[in-house]
Structure 1
Amino acid sequence: MMRTSYKHPKIETLILWDLPGIGTMNFPPKDYLEKVNFQEYDFFIIVSSTRFTKNELDLAKAIISMKKNYYFVRTKVDIDLQNEKESKPRTFDREKTLQQIRSYCVNTFSQNNMDAPQIFLISNRHLSDYDFPVLMDTLVKDLPAQKRHNLMLSLPNITEAAIDRKHKSMQQTVWLQACKAGLLATVPVVGILRDDVEKLKEKLNHYRVLFGVDDESLEVMAKDSQVPVEQLKKLIKSPYLLETEGEATLREMFLKYLEKFASATGGPLATGLYFRKTYYLQHLFLDTVTEDAKVLLRVTHSKN
């Protein structure tokens, strides 16, 4: 009955707003946009589990007139498919049924003299099976750069491609931070300082949270997939990257990664420029949590 904000648990600057349905008693169409503070949002997702109503189509027209982006999402398509399969077991055709659902939505726009937007068919139970990955890509693509980065980091690891995009975005952020801090310099002979180690621990934990391989995320994953959390922890490497004593081990880790990094990219070493050791190690952390996220996706997805 009222607009409600939900702060993202991992991205502090990202807020999702759940708005009341248009056309309810307290939100008649003529007052709706003003009452929900229309101008505050970057884009709208109009969601329906059955059909899009005239009020929702009128809302889309108003959004268009104010030059905001909107997206139509048709939910619970897994239930529609199951119902169709049970009612027509001999003639059931999954792709044909999905196309019929999509066509029905498109026709609703045509009947109201509107150009049909892209319709996203999704199931909350099976995110990777339908249009949710396409919806993610579309939302990210349509946003300005900084908001695009934050939204990308907030999205779930439902495909390896999604994990790779998150990795690439974070990798660019590390380089930009290093350049902004003026940390292009010859790699010093001295070792990694104790303060650096503490900061690296914070960075590693931050990356684990963003990529969903932290302890809390593992507990949720274990419950959802019915795989023991201890088994999941044995599959990943990132929690143990800095569980070492002494500078020698860190130096060895750094030199090993630096050699790998340079041989793979022909990068900064070829130009004679280097980032501080801590920034190379951040790339090691990113690569490791990315691989951890992919390993966990494969294991938990196979259980679903």
Structure 2
Amino acid sequence: IYSFTLHCIVYDSGIKKELQTNGSAAAAAMIQTYLDEQDNIQLNIGITGESGSGKSSFVNAFRGIHNSDKKRAAPTGVKETTTDPTPYPHPNHPNVTLWDLPGIGTTKFPADEYLKKIEFERFDFFIIISADRFRENDVKLAEEIQKMKKKFYFVRSKIDHNIRDEEETQGSEFNEEETLKEIREDCIQGRVESPQVFLVSSRKLNLYDFHLLEKTLQEELLAHKRNALLLALPNVSLEIIIKKKEALQARIKYRAGVSALGAFTPVPGLSFGADMIMMVTTIRQYQATFGLDSESLQRLAQTVGLPLDELRAVMTSPLAGKEINKDLIIKLVSCSVVDLSLTATEEGFRFIPLFGIPAAMTLSSVSTYTTLNMFLNMLADDAQKVFEKALGLDTTV
């Protein structure tokens, strides 16, 4: 009975063994522990460079926070505003932390002692930012990071300013693609072996090379850290939204497994109540990951200079603009004929000897799987519409 039910929803020999050895409660706890671990994988990103390079602006843009947000933003300015390594956790994914590091070569952080003073070991990778050509200290830092077998990436910031200036200078002869190519080639001039240089505007992450930086980080990060980065990324492309949806979708089978194991308890209504609590928590996570919670939408509205109501107006799901709670989810599930019939059938099966409990477990897993996929699709669609509205694209196409 156990093996059949679990085989349908979770393909993990360790969980099956736990189920057979210690029972359904222990197996459910094992799955939940796995999910909790996935949600709390720590990722520490070091952002460094000389003073005035745009480090703090990049930290803020990555976290979806406007520079003017005095409560959450890393302070920006033309002078060095970072005097010590300062952590800035992601507002929706606090397991992902961007560290605004002091500029290398300052009196307090001389180049030859820099890595030791910032406690190099705690960072998963470094992003070295410059507003023009990378300087000697940047190159020295990159060489030291290479020696210690960690990854670094050069980011050339404020590209939108450079493009604007070049367009004004060259007039009708201006070619953006050629200009970007020249800037990229001029950044390092062969000082570092196989450098990766990404041209980025913190004001417009959807332009230039941010998507290439994101793709490279995804490819080169350790496997267990990739999703932590992905779920925290700002929605600067439709591709990122799709990847987030796929990552969240891959976990639904585990939540369906917890639901099935919870249905083993032959108490009418208990499984449904537990499932509703789990769904509320999970759907709130989806909402935050897609940046559709109230605070995230307010930050986005501030960043793109649109009224909050205009962003909310393009969202069409029944979750739009609502607080995710148990009553709302029950109401929406009740409107779904398939989910409602599955739930009713599950409760009815409990009273059938021998066959009833395993059938109820299977139906519980199918109901949870179907419902979470439905809400995930709704929120992913809303995220796409909000993204298009934020960029001024035609959301009616």
| TM-score (norm: length of structure 2) | 0.65
Which residue pairs with 2:199 in the alignment?
A: 121
Which residue pairs with 1:205 in the alignment?
A: 284
Confirm or deny: 8 A CA contact 1:254 1:277 kept in the other structure: no
Alpha-carbon displacement from aligned partner over 1:88-124 (angstroms, at most 9, x marks no partner): 11311111110110110241xx2x3x32312100111
Which residue pairs with 1:268 in the alignment?
A: none
Which residue pairs with 1:216 in the alignment?
A: 295
- What SS does structure 2 have at the residue aligned with 1:25? coil
Distance 1:220 1:34, change over 3 A: closer
Confirm or deny: 8 A CA contact 2:259 2:275 kept in the other structure: no
Report the Cα offset of residue 57 of structure 1: 0.7
Distance 1:121 1:280, change over 3 A: same
Q: Does 1:91 align with 2:173?
A: yes
Alpha-carbon displacement from aligned partner over 1:213-249 (angstroms, at most 9, x marks no partner): 1122222333344443334333221236879779686
Count of matched residue positions in the alignment of Structure 1 and Structure 2: 286
Q: Does 1:193 align with 2:268?
A: no
Q: Does 1:250 align with 2:333?
A: yes
Confirm or deny: 8 A CA contact 1:84 1:92 kept in the other structure: yes
- For residues 131 and 311 of structure 2, the distance between their equivalents in structure 1, rounded to whole angstroms, comes to 35
| 5+ long unaligned stretches in structure 1 | 260-272
Written as runs of structure 1 = structure 2, the 5 A alignment for 1:241-280 is 250-253=333-336, 255=338, 275-280=365-370
RMSD (Å) for aligned C-alpha atoms: 3.1
Alpha-carbon displacement from aligned partner over 1:148-191 (angstroms, at most 9, x marks no partner): 111101001111111000111111122234447764989x9x88
Distance 1:144 1:176, change over 3 A: farther
Residue from 186, 197, 220 that aligns with 1:104: 186
- For residues 135 and 297 of structure 1, the distance between their equivalents in structure 2, rounded to whole angstroms, comes to 19
Distance 1:247 1:57, change over 3 A: closer
Confirm or deny: 8 A CA contact 2:104 2:137 kept in the other structure: yes
- What SS does structure 1 have at the residue aligned with 2:391? helix
- What SS does structure 2 have at the residue aligned with 1:199? helix
Q: Does 1:74 align with 2:153?
A: no
- For residues 185 and 393 of structure 2, the distance between their equivalents in structure 1, rounded to whole angstroms, comes to 33
Which residue pairs with 1:158 in the alignment?
A: 236
Residue from 115, 119, 130 that aligns with 1:33: 115
- What SS does structure 2 have at the residue aligned with 1:5? strand
Distance 1:132 1:60, change over 3 A: same
Distance 1:118 1:254, change over 3 A: farther
- For residues 135 and 331 of structure 2, the distance between their equivalents in structure 1, rounded to whole angstroms, comes to 66
Confirm or deny: 8 A CA contact 2:132 2:187 kept in the other structure: no
Alpha-carbon displacement from aligned partner over 1:246-274 (angstroms, at most 9, x marks no partner): 96862442617999xxxxxxxxxxxxx66
Written as runs of structure 1 = structure 2, the 5 A alignment for 1:45-84 is 45-84=127-166
Q: 169-178 vs 58-67, which deviates more?
A: 169-178
Which residue pairs with 2:247 in the alignment?
A: 169
Distance 1:258 1:149, change over 3 A: farther
Confirm or deny: 8 A CA contact 1:257 1:284 kept in the other structure: no
Report the Cα offset of residue 281 of structure 1: 1.4
Q: 70-79 vs 142-151, which deviates more?
A: 142-151
- For residues 118 and 245 of structure 1, the distance between their equivalents in structure 2, rounded to whole angstroms, comes to 48
Equivalent residue letter for 2:122 = E
- What SS does structure 2 have at the residue aligned with 1:70? strand
Residue from 203, 222, 239 that aligns with 1:144: 222
- What SS does structure 1 have at the residue aligned with 2:99? strand
Confirm or deny: 8 A CA contact 1:123 1:130 kept in the other structure: yes
| TM-score (norm: length of structure 1) | 0.83
Distance 1:297 1:246, change over 3 A: closer
